[in-house]
């Protein structure tokens, strides 16, 4: 299927720094003052809703620093998540549970700076880490404000049920919220490991109820992680105002997300089943990211026979 870009692309004025001119090349991967790619209008909630309406999949990738974020933006990724997965891929922690709000703010700020520097247009999400929103709605507001001050457009938090009131509190105060259901890595110990969620009837019903409550509370995005494809597709149909973003949830969601290190094959161990290594056949990170965008858009990733349950 032919991939037509999400938004109208118009010619961008010549970049201030021309990367093809060796005399102006900059060391240490320094970002040029303008992206060498054509311009895209800033990604916003109305633009994401437009995409959804016309049946075009939303793309999301994680990034944790200025350069990778700028490259993802240049590759056409629409939404960039500074995920607390950075605890595992950047900090070497055993799980995401040990990540602090200060660390998240540091990485959100780096990513936001990178995007600004190249005049990037991606929508930026910052993950609220474990312990930063669990005590009270007020604590969640303070933590969310810290990530917004660092440059996030939207915050993400994990869990259903008790989180609905918190989501409503943040949304009423002007903070767009992405929820996260299914496998919620911050509570991996309580879940008994990285397992598929919502497999039996009761668990599936609870997941659906939580998803509806989160939409009612005002969440405009919902990550569904390691959820059976049929269930994720059903939830997606039931949430017209909240865009589902799947990871290990099949192709029936409104969009897809992967952890950048996984999709670039930067992994000494075995990748989870839902990952595809987009460096295969790519000659650069930007090419791999662009291949990911194209595959999500044309529906070839994920392949439910390979990447889903």
Reference 132, options 121, 119, 122, 145; nearest CA is 145
Which of 56, 78, 158, 225 is flagged as catalytic? 225
Give the residue with the Cβ less far from ligand KIV, 164 or 223.
223
Site for ligand KIV in 8-67 (CB under 6 A): 62
Q: Is 244 in the site for ligand KIV (CB under 6 A)?
A: no
Residue 246 CA to residue 209 CA, distance in Å, equals: 18
Q: Is 259 in the site for ligand KIV (CB under 6 A)?
A: yes
User: What is the largest distance, in Å, between two alpha-carbon atoms of the chain?
Assistant: 64
Q: Is 260 in the site for ligand KIV (CB under 6 A)?
A: no
Q: Is 228 in the site for ligand KIV (CB under 6 A)?
A: no
Q: Is the dihedral of CA 81, 20, 295, 196 positive or negative?
A: negative
Q: Is 223 in the site for ligand KIV (CB under 6 A)?
A: yes
Among the residue ranges 12-20, 22-30, 82-90, 114-122, the one whose residues contact ligand KIV (CB under 6 A) = 82-90
Structure token digits, residue 11? 């010619």
Q: Is 88 in the site for ligand KIV (CB under 6 A)?
A: no
Q: Is the dihedral of CA 191, 194, 197, 200 positive or negative?
A: negative
Give the residue with the Cβ less far from ligand KIV, 182 or 218.
182
Q: Binding ligand KIV by CB under 6 A: which of 63, 179, 247, 263?
A: 247
Annotation says 225 is catalytic: yes
Residue 189 CA to residue 24 CA, distance in Å, equals: 51
Pairing label, strands 9-10, 221-225: unpaired
For 101-122, what is the HEC assignment? HHHHHHHHHHHHHHHHHCCCCC
Give the residue with the Cβ less far from ligand KIV, 56 or 84.
84
Q: Coil, strand, or helix at residue 154?
A: strand
Q: Coil, strand, or helix at residue 10?
A: strand
Give the residue with the Cβ less far from ligand KIV, 128 or 233.
128
Give the residue with the Cβ less far from ligand KIV, 81 or 147.
81
CB of 286 to ligand KIV, least distance (A): 20
**Binding residues for ligand KIV (CB under 6 A):** 62, 81, 83-85, 127, 180, 223, 247, 257, 259
**Among all residues, which ones are annotated catalytic?**
225
């Amino acid at each position: 299927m032919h991939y037509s870009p999400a938004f109208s692309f118009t010619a961008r004025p010549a970049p201030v720094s021309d990367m093809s001119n060796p005399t102006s090349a900059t060391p240490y991967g320094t970002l040029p003052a303008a992206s060498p790619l054509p311009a895209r209008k800033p990604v916003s909630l109305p633009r994401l809703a437009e995409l959804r309406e016309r049946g075009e999949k939303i793309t999301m990738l994680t990034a944790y620093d200025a350069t990778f974020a700028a490259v993802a933006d240049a590759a056409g990724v629409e939404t960039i998540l500074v995920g607390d997965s950075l605890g595992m891929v950047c900090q070497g922690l055993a799980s995401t549970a040990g990540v602090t709000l200060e660390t998240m703010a540091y990485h959100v700020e780096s990513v936001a700076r990178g995007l600004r520097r190249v005049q990037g247009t991606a929508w930026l999400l910052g993950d609220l880490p474990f312990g930063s929103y669990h005590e009270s709605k007020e604590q969640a507001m303070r933590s969310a404000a810290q990530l917004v001050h660092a440059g996030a457009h939207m915050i993400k938090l994990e869990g259903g049920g008790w989180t609905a009131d918190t989501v409503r509190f943040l949304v009423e105060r002007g903070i767009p919220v992405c929820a996260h259901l299914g496998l919620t890595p911050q509570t991996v110990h309580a879940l008994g490991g990285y397992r598929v969620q919502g497999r039996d009837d009761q668990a599936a019903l609870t997941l659906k109820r939580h998803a509806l409550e989160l939409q009612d509370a005002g969440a405009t995005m919902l990550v569904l992680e390691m959820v059976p494809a049929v269930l994720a597709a059903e939830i997606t149909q039931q949430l017209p105002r909240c865009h589902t973003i799947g990871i290990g949830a099949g192709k029936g969601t409104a969009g897809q997300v992967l952890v950048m290190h996984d999709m670039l094959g930067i992994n000494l161990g075995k990748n989870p089943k839902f990952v595809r290594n987009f460096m295969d056949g790519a000659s650069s990170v930007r090419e791999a990211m662009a291949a990911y965008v194209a595959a999500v858009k044309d529906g070839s990733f994920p392949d439910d026979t390979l990447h889903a349950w």
